Amino acid sequence: MRLFIAINFDTQTIEHMLDVQERLRAVGKGNFSQPENLHLTLVFLGEIAPDRVPAIRQIMSSLSVPVLRLCFNHVGSFKRDGGDILWIGLAENKALLEVQRQLSQRLTDTGFVLERRSFSPHITLARQVKFKVEPDYCAILSEPFIARTNSISLMLSERIGGKLTYTEQFSVTAK
């Protein structure tokens, strides 16, 4: 099972992200994320044996998940040879960083092997993008927007009928 722990968003937040995505479509071509796949990855677990899922659920349940107020305030890209990855980023949020840190620490302490790269909170809007014109990222995100969230989810990533699909397996909500 290919798994990750993420924050999913409400319809209004997704609509804001889709508006930004549409402005990006005007300046580049690529593989744009489907609305149902827009999420913030907290921890990528990778291929996990099904018998390890109860341990992940227990770790998630042991966290005190806060209500988070996330401010999306910039757009950027990760440069890649086959085309850039475009994303929307967040203002620094200490509560979010603490949730991610605790999750990573508890998973590592339980024997899960996680990626070593530092956490850079963002939502991927498109992959393999080739620009027609150089984007003005400040104009693409005309103004910051806020999302409130109160849960984290264990997500399954799989291809169904050739389409990348993310399915929630378990969720923990703020108490």
Classify residue 80 as exposed, middle or buried by CB count within 10 Å of its CB (0-12, 13-18, 19+).
exposed
**Is 165 in contact with 16 (CB distance < 8 Å)?**
no
Active site residue 74: no
Active site residue 16: no
Give the active site residue among 39, 43, 72, 124. Answer: 39
Q: How many CB atoms lie within 10 A of CB 68?
A: 19
Residue 73 phi/psi, 5° resolution?
-135, 5
Give the active site residue among 13, 20, 122, 147. Answer: 122
**Is 151 in contact with 174 (CB distance < 8 Å)?**
yes
Active site residues: 39, 122
